[in-house]
Amino acid sequence: MQITVNGENNELKEIEVNLSKLLELRKVESPEMVAVQLNGEFIEMNNYSSTYLKSGDDIEFLFFMGGGSK
């Protein structure tokens, strides 16, 4: 299955991959701090395990960063 993750083409060998599995496959640390956009739509975190990918999907991981000025 061909998908795009953060602008990079990726081929997944698994047939059924949900967003939770994709985060695991990509070795994303602290997945609770990542917003996921699938084909331009934000997916709620509690739907990651029930949202399955299909060939041609475009996924964006948006990482939250803390910080500030002194």
CA geometry: angle 6, 38, 66, nearest 5 deg: 60
List Cβ neighbours of 33 (8 Å cut-off, separation of 6 or more): 63, 64
Beta bridge partners, 3, equal 10
18 within some domain: yes
68 within some domain: no
Q: What is the CATH number of the domain that holds 26?
A: 3.10.20.30
36 within some domain: yes
Going residue by residue through the chain, which has 70 residues, state the pLDDT in tens, using 9 for 90 and above.
999 999 999 999 988 999 999 999 999 988 888 999 999 999 999 999 999 999 999 999 998 766 656 6
70 within some domain: no
Cα 7 from Cα 65, distance rounded (Å):
20
Residue type, 67: G
> H/E element holding 19?
helix 19-25
Domain that holds residue 38: 2-63
69 within some domain: no
Overall domain count for the chain: 1
Q: What is the pTM of this model?
A: 0.85
